[in-house]
């Protein structure tokens, strides 16, 4: 069920009431309730895939216990390898089997031989990429002795299946989230209010920004040859806001809902479109995934140590794997490769960690430079999104050809009605609020806290009415397909 659905609007209050008013005196009972609620939540899509989560959870719980009982290096490596192979094996089969079969057949076609690839009608389990990486972080960290394995099966199963972030993240580390299931939790009014506020902002991003942008984006990408370059420019610009509003909106809702139950999830987005170079963008975009690849792939490969050739190799591997994680399509791999090409010059010039702090300087000449950097970075990211959104590489090339044609300078016609013009206004409002609140965990966390209560609640009420009155046609979250 979607966070912005009627079903979920009924599901969440029921779980909340049972959690705080029925099971509040027993930690294990609370964890059992969360497991049951999470499995029900997941089964709403397809109950048949519950077996995957149960099996993966059981395997990694057992691997953790076995790792604690042996100091033999070969045995420990074997246990870790078992966890990695089984988890990535499931992920590879459900997500990449057809891709590899078709790519293998295409390779033979290039050699002048024709093959009919074995293609299976495989349904992709929603969220498999997210919970697979989450369980892997546990076994890897236990293997590295960064944490002690849990002996509480309920805590572990609840950690893997926790419904707010089960299907689209953030990808939580066991070192952060798992211990929270072992601690007594008490209801905190201020934390709950803060969580609801973040849920509201995430809902605005998803329903008003992302879902409305989706309709224009779909028109532009459906037929690039039938649109002017200016229309295609609007299409990809709106996709930038669609995917950000969609994914960061989900993360905001997940983090806010987790806070309702006494849990603190890691921040997943830090206003990435205000980044001054690509290095800063990737420290602010999908933080839970980028740090996962940093800690479990980039650093083990050698990171920024070694020769320049080795550094370039490591960057290429991480970005290409990151692209492939997003989907079984060459478009995602090329998207990752484009970002690698953006990133490599920063590594060579030692500027990849140049901007580690927020934009706080307010000097006029600095603001001009900063504004230019932000616009250039946003432009580069937006162009790369074409590969991400396109159905095929041919489709993406067709889009680029139409975009950079002479018709780029024509007046766009794709936003000529009242609703699309209103959407432009909402996007400008959205950018302004995000800029205003860029130093907080989320944009409206402390917005107008110094104002009277009637003013604050007037703003929240207005935002709620905008969600109900101007929400676009319901769209599934983009990252559910990953």
Which residues are tagged catalytic? 326
Place of tokens 């990408």: 221
Contact between 379 and 342 under an 8 Å Cβ cutoff? The reply is no
- Nearest CA to 216 out of 200, 202, 233, 195 is that of 233
Residue 390: its H or E element = none
C-alpha–C-alpha distance, residues 119 and 375, integer Å? 43
Place of tokens 């926790």: 162
C-alpha–C-alpha distance, residues 85 and 49, integer Å? 19
Cα dist from 121 to 48, 89, 93, whole Å: 15, 17, 12
Longest CA–CA separation in the chain, Å: 74
C-alpha–C-alpha distance, residues 9 and 472, integer Å? 18
Contact between 482 and 131 under an 8 Å Cβ cutoff? The reply is no
C-alpha–C-alpha distance, residues 143 and 321, integer Å? 23
Contact between 444 and 197 under an 8 Å Cβ cutoff? The reply is yes
Residues 6 or more apart in contact with residue 333 via CB below 8 angstroms: 320, 323, 324
Locate 140 and state its tokens.
């890897």
C-alpha–C-alpha distance, residues 189 and 193, integer Å? 6
* Alpha carbon 286 to its chain's center: 5
Judged by DSSP in three states, 164 sits in helix
* Exposure on the CB side of residue 337, measured as CA atoms within 13 A: 7
C-alpha–C-alpha distance, residues 111 and 104, integer Å? 11
Residues 6 or more apart in contact with residue 75 via CB below 8 angstroms: none
Residue 317: its H or E element = helix 308-326
């Amino acid at each position: 069920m979607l966070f912005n659905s009627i079903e979920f609007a009924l599901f969440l209050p029921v779980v909340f009431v049972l959690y705080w008013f029925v099971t509040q005196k027993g930690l294990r009972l609370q964890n059992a309730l969360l497991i049951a609620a999470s499995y029900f939540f997941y089964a709403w899509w397809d109950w048949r895939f519950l077996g995957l989560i149960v099996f993966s959870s059981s395997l990694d719980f057992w691997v953790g216990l076995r790792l604690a009982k042996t100091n033999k290096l070969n045995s420990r490596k074997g246990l870790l390898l078992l966890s990695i192979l089984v988890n990535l094996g499931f992920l590879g089969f459900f997500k990449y089997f057809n891709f590899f079969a078709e790519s293998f057949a295409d390779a033979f076609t290039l050699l002048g031989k024709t093959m009919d690839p074995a293609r299976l009608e495989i349904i992709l389990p929603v969220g498999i990429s997210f919970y697979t990486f989450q369980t892997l972080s546990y076994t890897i960290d236990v293997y590295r002795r960064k944490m002690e394995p849990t002996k509480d099966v309920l805590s572990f199963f609840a950690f893997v299946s926790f419904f707010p972030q089960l299907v689209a993240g953030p990808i939580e580390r066991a070192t952060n989230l798992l211990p929270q299931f072992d601690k007594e939790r008490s209801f905190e009014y201020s934390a709950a209010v803060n969580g609801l506020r973040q849920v509201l902002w995430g809902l605005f991003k998803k329903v008003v920004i992302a879902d409305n942008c989706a309709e224009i984006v779909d028109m532009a990408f459906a037929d690039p040859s039938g649109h002017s370059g200016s229309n295609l420019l609007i299409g990809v610009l709106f996709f930038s806001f669609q995917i950000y509003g969609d994914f960061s909106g989900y993360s905001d809702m997940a983090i806010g809902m987790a806070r309702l139950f006494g849990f603190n999830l890691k921040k997943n987005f830090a206003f990435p479109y205000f980044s001054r170079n690509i290095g800063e963008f990737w420290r602010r975009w999908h933080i839970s995934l980028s740090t996962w690849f940093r800690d479990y792939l980039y650093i083990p490969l050698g990171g920024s140590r070694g020769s320049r050739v080795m550094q370039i190799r490591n960057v290429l591997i991480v970005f290409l794997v990151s692209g492939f994680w997003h989907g079984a399509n060459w478009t995602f791999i090329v998207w990752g490769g484009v970002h690698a090409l953006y990133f490599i010059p920063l590594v060579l010039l030692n500027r990849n960690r140049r901007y580690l702090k927020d934009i706080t300087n307010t000097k006029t000449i600095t603001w001009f430079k900063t504004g230019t950097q932000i616009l250039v970075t946003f432009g580069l990211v937006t162009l790369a999104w074409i590969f991400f959104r396109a159905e095929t590489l041919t489709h993406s090339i067709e889009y680029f050809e139409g975009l950079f044609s002479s018709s780029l300078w024509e007046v766009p016609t794709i936003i000529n009605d009242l609703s699309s013009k209103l959407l432009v206004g909402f996007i400008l409002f959205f950018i302004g609020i995000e800029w205003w609140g860029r130093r907080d965990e989320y944009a409206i966390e402390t917005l107008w806290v110094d104002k009277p209560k009637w003013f604050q609640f007037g703003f929240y009420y207005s935002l709620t009415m905008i969600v109900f009155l101007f929400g676009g046609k319901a769209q599934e979250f983009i990252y559910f397909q990953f």
